[in-house]
Structure 1
Amino acid sequence: MRKTRSRVARTLAAALAVGVIATGCASERGDDNGDKPFVFGAAGDPDSLDPSISSDGETFRVTRQSFEALIEHEPGGTEFSPGLATKWSSNKDATEWTFDLKKDVEFHDGEKFNADAVCANYDRWYNWTGTYQSDLLSYYWQKVFGGFKKNENDSLPASNYVGCEAKDEHTAVIKVKKATANLPGGFSLQAMAIHSPKAIEKYEKENASGSGDAISRPKYTQEAGTVAGTGPFEVEKWNKGNKEITLKKFDGYHGDKAKTDTLVFRTIDTEDGRKQALESGGIQGYDLVAPGDVASLEKEGFQVPVRKVFNLFYVGMAQEKNPALKDKKVRQAVSQAIDRQNIVDTQLPEGGKIASQFVPDTIEGYSDKVPEIKHDPENAKKLLKEAGEENLTVDFCYPTEVTRPYMPAPKDMYQIMQKDLENVGIKVKTHPMKWNPTYSDSVRDGKCGLYLLGWTGDFNDAYNFLGTWFAEPLKEWGFKDKKVFDAVKDSGSEPDLEKRVELYKKANEVVMDYLPGLPVSSSPPSIAFGKDVNPPKVSPLTQENFAEASFK
C-alpha cells in the first residue's frame, strides 16, 4: 500500500515501529529454536477469531492455523486433499455428499471429533437467525448454501441446504437440494471449518447485534479462551493494544506437530514498516511484498518465493451510481482508455499479465474466444461522442491502508487510471476510502461509480470467480441482464465437470460481450521470509500452513 503522506514520514514511522518490535521480541526468544516465536507481519488486523462469521484474508490467515475443514488443499497447490475427511464422494446428482472422517482427532478443548460434530456445525449455520443472516457475517454460507432454515429477509435466496446426518461415528452425509459448482469446494472454505460442539454451546450464549453496516460481533470472537478447533495451533491471546495474536502449539494435534512452540501474527500497516521489521529481525516473514522491494530483499539474502497466479484485478462499474455507464459504448470507452499494459509493467511483479476476462487463464473454463480490449484513446473519445457523453464525469473510488495480492499499490494504480481517463476527456471525482469498513461497504452498496477490486480464488473452479460476481444482480455492479445471469447460473448448476467447463467458457464470452467492468490483470504475489527461516510451502490460495515453518 502507498500512503498519502510523505516518504520521509513513512520511513520515520516504520523505523519507530521496528524499534518497538525489536525491543518487544528480545525478551521472548530463548536459545532453543523450538522456544523462539515465529512472528509474521500482517498488513491488517483480523476481525474475528471465529472464521464462520468472517470473509477477509487477514482473519483466515490466523484462524487457518487453528481450524480445519472437511477438505483442504495440497500444500503449495490448488488440488483438494484430505482435511478432517480422509475421502469424500457424491451421488450421481451431486446432491448427497458422504465424508469418511479421520479417527482419533481431538479439539483444543478436549472434545472428540466425529460425525455429530460435523452436523452440529452445519446445522448451526443453517439455523442462524437475526443479525447472523447479514452477509457481513454469513457471507460464505450464503454464497455456498443460499439462505437459512427461516429467512428473515425477502432478499435472501432459498436455502439449498437440506441437512446433515451422522450415519455412524466416522461417516457424515451432507445433503443439498440441487447440484452446485460451489461443492465440493465450499467444504474446503475456512468459513466452513469445524468447531468443537462444546465451544458452539458457549458461542450461543452470546449474540451478534446491530444491523446494516453497524454490526457488533459476539464477545467470544474478540478474545481468546472460547473458540476451539482441531488445528496444529490454538489461540492463546489477542493483544489488541499491541496489534498481535499469539498462538501456541497444540500438543494433541492429530497430524504432524508444529515445528515452533509459538506463532505470532503482528499487524504492521505499512509496506516500509513490514520490510524494515524483517530486515531488523523483528519479524520472520510478511506477505504481499512490494514489487520494487523483491530484488533488494533477495540481494540482502532474504527468501522471497513467488506464488502461482490465482487472482484477478478489475475496475468495477456501478451503473446505478453513474447512469452514463448503462450505455455499453461508455463502458467500452472507459475500458479502451485505460492502459492495462502500463499497469502490468510498472505496478506488478514479474509474471503479471493483462486479464482478458473475469477468470485467470490458470483455471479451466477460461475462453480463448473473448475479443481483445485494446488500449485505444482515440477510439475511446469517438465512443464517448457517439454516446453523447463528451463531458462525462465519473466518481472513482480507491482503497487506502490496504495491500492485496492482486493490488499491491492501490493509490499508484488508481492514479495511472485517473490520468488515462482524463486523457480522453473524462472528468474524474476522486474518492479515497479506508478499506475496512468504509471502502468495502461503499463498493458493495453501489456507492462508487468506478472502483478497484479483485479476488483471490478460494478453490479451483471458475464458478468461484464468475459466480461471486455475476450469478445474480448485485448493487456493486448495478445492472440486470438476464442473459449474463442465466449463462453464469447454468454453468454453476451443471454437475458434470467436463460439461461445466464448456459452459464456463460460454459464460465468460457472454459476460465480456456485455462488459460490466474491465478485467485488468492477474499477478503472482510475493511473500518474504527471514534468512534463518525454513518457510512453509507458499500457496496460490494464500493458505500457508505455518506449522511447517521452522528456524534453521
Structure 2
Amino acid sequence: MKMKICAFIIICVLFYSYSYAQGSKELKFGLGADDIHSVYPWESTDKITDAVIINIYEGLTSLSPKGSNVEPCLAERWEASKDFTEWTFYLRKNVKFHNGETFTADHVIESFKIGGFQFGKVSKIDDYKIRIVLSEAKPALPITLANLDYFISAKATIEGFNKDKIPTQVFGTGPFKFKSWERGKRIVLDKNDAYWGEKAKLDRVIFIPFSENEALLKALLTGAIDITDGIVSQNIAAIRQSKSLLFKSEVSLNYAYMVMNNKRKPFDNVKVRQAIAYAINKKELINKYFLGGQAGMSAKSCMPPAMFGFYKDLPDYEFNPAKAKQLLKEAGYPAGFQASLTPAGAVRPYMPDPLGIANSIKAQLKQVGIDLTIKPAKSWSDFLSITLIKMDYDIALLGWIADTADPYDFLHDPLSGESIGKYNASGWSNKEFDSLLNLANSEPLRSVQYYHRAQLIFHDEVPQIPLFHAYQIAAWREGVSGFILHPLGYVILKKVWVK
C-alpha cells in the first residue's frame, strides 16, 4: 500500500511539474493599432491584420522561421518544368478545416480565385493534386504562394464572405481557430485540437489592439498583456529598465517612405518630387526617432539592404536645401506651394511616431517654401482607404513589410502599375520598371542586373521618398517562451507558451 501511495505521489508531482513547465494556456498579445482590418486573408493589407490571420489560415507553402527557406505546408511537395512555367503541387491528405470540411484541391482553386491569383491557370488533376500553368516563367512561385493572399479558406468561409461579408464563418486549417472579434477591443483565437501538424501549446490567444503606443507600453509593464511586437524606439529605455521584461531586436525586411500622389499637381512633376527628396534631412529623423541609429537606419532604395537584389551603389538624395529650391524654381514653383501631409494611421515598427515624424518633415520642407498642413486619418482602416484605395491625399507617410523573401513581390505590389488602387498609393506607373520586374522574375540568373536597373529608374523618378529601415523589436514578460522574431514580421504563435 505504501509503495502504491508513493508511486501515486510521484506521478502527481511529475504531472504538476509537466503542467507547470507547459504553463499558462492563455496569451495576451498587444497589437500596435486601433484594430485589425479583416479576418479574411485576401483582404489583409497590413501586418497588424496578418498577425491574426497567419495563425488561423495556412498556404500550400510556408517560410522557415528565419524567412530564408520555403517549406511544405498544405502541399507536401511540388515539381516544376524545366522552364518554370508548369508546376504540380501534391496536397496533404487528412487535413480538416475548423468547421470539419476536408481539405482538397477544390479549396485551393476557390481560394486562389478570391485571392486574386493572376500568374496563370490553376486546374485540378485530382482531389490531392493541382497543376499551375503560368503565363511566364516564375522560379520563385513556391515563395510567392507563402503570401497570405493565397492562404486556403474553407468553402463556407468564401461563401459567407460573398453573401454578407459578416465575419462569422471564419475557417482555416491553422493551429488556432477563430473564436470572436469584438471590434476595437479584442480578437480571440482558440487552439485547434484537430490540427494536422504539431499542435499549439496554448489553449487561447487574445489579441488586444492599442491605438496609443503609451497605452500599449503601460499594458506590457503592468502585465495586462504578455507580449507585443509593436514596440517603438522611444520606449526601449523603459523596457530595458524593467526587471520583468525581455527585449529583442533584429534586422527586418521593411521600408518606410513618404509617398506623393503622382496623379495630383504639383507631384506629377518629377522635379518637384526630386526637390522634396533633397529637402528631407534623414539623419536628423534617424537621430530623433530611432535612437541615433540603434533602432533603425536611413533608406535610399525601395528595397531593404538585407534583401536579395539590393543595389548597394545606388546614389541617395543627400540633404541639400539649396538644390531643392533650385529644382522647385525650375519646376515653376519658385515660392513653393501648399499641400497636406497624412501621417501613418498607426504606430508601426518603421514609423514609431507618425505624428512626430510628420511635424519634423513639415518643419524641414518649410525651409524650402513648401507649407504642409498635417491631416491625420481617423483610424488605421480610414488611413488605408484614403491612401491605398481612394488615393485622396497629397503626401502621406507609409511603409511596407515583406510578405515573402522574394524581391519581385516586395517591389511589385507598392510600385507596379497594375497595383494602383490596391497597394500602389503613389499612382506612379513606369512600363520599363514593370518590364524589368517581370524579366527579373522570369530570368533568375540575370535577376540582380534587372533589379538594379529598376532601382535606378525608381531613384530618378522618385515616386516615393525612402526614409527608414526599422529594426524589428519585440518585448515580452518573463515566462513567455518560444517566440521568434521572424524577418518578415510574421507573428507565429504555435510554439509559444507561458510559464
SS for the counterpart of 1:525 is: strand
Change beyond 3 A, Cα 1:182–1:413: farther
Aligned with 2:347 (options 403, 408, 417): 403
- What amino acid is aligned across from residue 216 of structure 2 in structure 1? R
| 1:483-540 deviation line (CA, Å, top 9, x unaligned) | 3343334334x2x322222211111112212222211111112111111211411112
2:439 corresponds to which of 490, 504, 528:
490
* Match in the other structure for 1:41: 30
In the alignment, structure 1 residue 98 sits paired with structure 2 residue 47? no
Q: Which amino acid aligns with 2:397?
A: L
Counterpart Cα distance in 1 of 2:23 and 2:131: 40
Q: Which amino acid aligns with 2:193?
A: D
Deviations 1:36-73 (A, max 9, x none): 42111122322332223332322221121121111111
Aligned to 1:545: 492
Q: Deviations over 1:364-402 (max 9, x none)?
A: 111133222111112222222333312222423223651
Query: Equivalent residue for 2:125?
Result: 166
Q: Which runs of 4+ in 1 moved over 6 A?
A: none
Aligned match of 2:3: none
Deviations 1:108-159 (A, max 9, x none): 222332334333433x52xxxxxxxxxxxxxxx34xx33xxxxxxxxxxxxx
2:254 alignment partner in structure 1: 311
8 Å CA contact 1:470, 1:488 repeated in 2: no
Scaled by the length of structure 1, the TM-score of the pair is: 0.79
Compute the RMSD of aligned alpha carbons: 2.5
Residue number among 372, 388, 393 corresponding to 1:448 in the alignment: 393
Matched-pair contact (CA < 8 Å) for 2:26–2:498: no
In 2: Cα distance, 1:379 partner to 1:291 partner: 32
Residues 115 and 533 (structure 1 numbering): CA distance in 2 closer, same or farther, change over 3 Å? same
What secondary structure, in the 3-state scheme, does the structure 1 residue paired with 2:356 have?
Answer: helix
Residues 205/79 of structure 1: CA separation in 2 closer, same or farther (3 Å cut):
closer
The residue type paired with residue 546 of structure 1 is L
User: Which stretch shifts more, 172-181 or 67-76?
Assistant: 172-181
Deviation of residue 312 (structure 1)? Answer: 0.6
Q: How does 1:18-97 map to 2 (within 5 A)?
A: 34=23, 36-43=25-32, 44-97=34-87
Q: Which runs of 5+ in 1 are unaligned?
A: 1-29, 126-140, 147-159, 209-216
Distance 2:180 2:267 in 1: 48
1:97–1:174: 8 Å Cα contact kept in structure 2?
A: yes
Q: Alignment partner of 2:141: what SS? A: coil
Of 269-278 and 178-187, the range deviating more from structure 2:
178-187
Alpha-carbon separation, structure 1, partners of 2:28 and 2:307: 33
TM-aligned CA distance change 1:441 to 1:119, over 3 Å? closer
Q: Which residue of 1 aligns with 2:220?
A: 278
Check the 8 A contact 1:93/1:179 in 2, yes or no.
yes
- Residues of 1 paired with 2:391 and 2:139: CA distance? 27
Unaligned stretches of 5+ residues in structure 2 = 1-18
Give the SS at the match of 2:162: coil
Residue 119 of structure 1 corresponds to which residue in structure 2?
109
Of 150, 153, 162, which aligns to 1:207? 162
Q: Which residue of 1 aligns with 2:403?
A: 458
Aligned pair count reads 472
Q: CA deviation at 1:335?
A: 0.7
Alpha-carbon separation, structure 2, partners of 1:484 and 1:75: 32
Q: Distance in 2 between matches of 1:263 and 1:479?
A: 40
**Cα pair 2:30 2:230 within 8 Å, conserved:** no
Q: Is 1:250 the counterpart of 2:197 in the alignment?
A: no
Cα shift readout 1:229-261 (whole Å, capped 9, x = no counterpart): 211111122233x71122111111122211111
Q: 1:424 aligns with which of 357, 368, 381?
A: 368
Equivalent position amino acid for 2:378 in 1: K
Give the secondary-structure state (helix, strand or coil) at the position aligned to 2:341: strand
| Change beyond 3 A, Cα 1:307–1:497 | same
- The answer (yes or no) to whether the contact 1:369–1:509 under 8 Å persists in 2 is no
Amino acid at match of 1:176: L
Tell me how far apart the structure 2 counterparts of residues 260 and 414 of structure 1 sit (CA, whole Å).
40
The two structures have a TM-score, normalised by structure 2, of 0.87
Match of 2:272 among 330, 351, 372: 330
* Percentage of matched positions with identical amino acids: 28
2: CA distance, partners of 1:431 / 1:370: 33
